[in-house]
Amino acid sequence: MKSSSVFDLLAEEHHCPYCSAKLTLCHAPSIHVGDGLGWGSEYLFICLNDECQLFVNGWKNIENNYGHVGSYRHMKLPDSNENYSMMVAGKGAFTGSVVDPEQVKRSNIRFQKEREAVAELATCVEDKNLAPVLYLLLDDHVALDVKMRAAEMVPVLNDLACIEPLRNHAFRDPNLEQTVNLAIQTILAAHFLKECPYCAELIKARAKLCKHCQKELA
């Protein structure tokens, strides 16, 4: 089955056969139809018009047939001709799951940036380009395996400029944190440097006195 991106779906226009209102793109709820069958889609087009005949008449229908309060919303599955009258418990049933185009735009921009950074990893060493490595390591949305690949580039790039931003970041995964720490140690050793344990400035590995904070080093 064809699966349109949320971007494509936001551009689509579908109308309710009951009230002709434009259907609203919503995140599919995590409920199941019938015997454990999901919607098969992350998104649904739903008529959220409270004046819709299906919705207005549904209250009576459900009370008469099922003896509880509820109504129907018209729903259409993306990339399919399937339409449903979906039972809802109240007016607000889907208002919290409406897809926010601005948020989609933001996460798409983020996704594009991540894709570019991943592509740049392949040439970052010859380009002496630390930027994509830092971007991937410091952005919390990036997947762990991608972060690990970026971390492997840190000692190869051997750029002291990475130390401050990496030290200022709290890594959530202990493996990744250890890999980054080792990478920093490797870079420091390659430059005959160490971090002052008191003021965190970089100083000569041989120093017995920190030139920045004047503290005596063990």
Interface with Zn ion (CB under 5 A) = 16, 18-19, 47, 49, 52, 74, 196, 198-199, 210, 212-213
Q: Quick one: 133 or 210, whose CB is closer to Zn ion?
A: 210
Q: How far is the CB of 152 from Zn ion (least distance, A)?
A: 30
- Checking phi first, is residue 100 left (phi over 0); if not, alpha (psi -120 to 50) or beta? beta
Q: How far is the CB of 20 from Zn ion (least distance, A)?
A: 7
Q: Quick one: 22 or 32, whose CB is closer to Zn ion?
A: 22
What residues does 203 pair with on adjacent strands?
194
Q: Quick one: 126 or 216, whose CB is closer to Zn ion?
A: 216
Q: How far is the CB of 185 from Zn ion (least distance, A)?
A: 18
Q: Quick one: 97 or 158, whose CB is closer to Zn ion?
A: 97
Q: How far is the CB of 46 from Zn ion (least distance, A)?
A: 9
What residues does 194 pair with on adjacent strands?
203
Q: Pick the closest to residue 52 from 15, 7, 24, 21 (CA basis).
A: 21
Q: Report how far residue 141's alpha carbon sits from residue 12's, in angstroms, rounded to the nearest whole number.
A: 28
Q: Quick one: 18 or 45, whose CB is closer to Zn ion?
A: 18
H or E stretch at 200: none
Kindly state the DSSP code that residue 199 receives in the 8-state scheme: T
Q: Which parts of 101-199 are beta strand (E)?
A: 193-195
Q: How far is the CB of 197 from Zn ion (least distance, A)?
A: 8
Q: Quick one: 52 or 183, whose CB is closer to Zn ion?
A: 52
Q: Report how far residue 135's alpha carbon sits from residue 126's, in angstroms, rounded to the nearest whole number.
A: 18
Q: How far is the CB of 214 from Zn ion (least distance, A)?
A: 7
3-state helix, strand, coil in the chain (%, to 5): 45, 15, 40
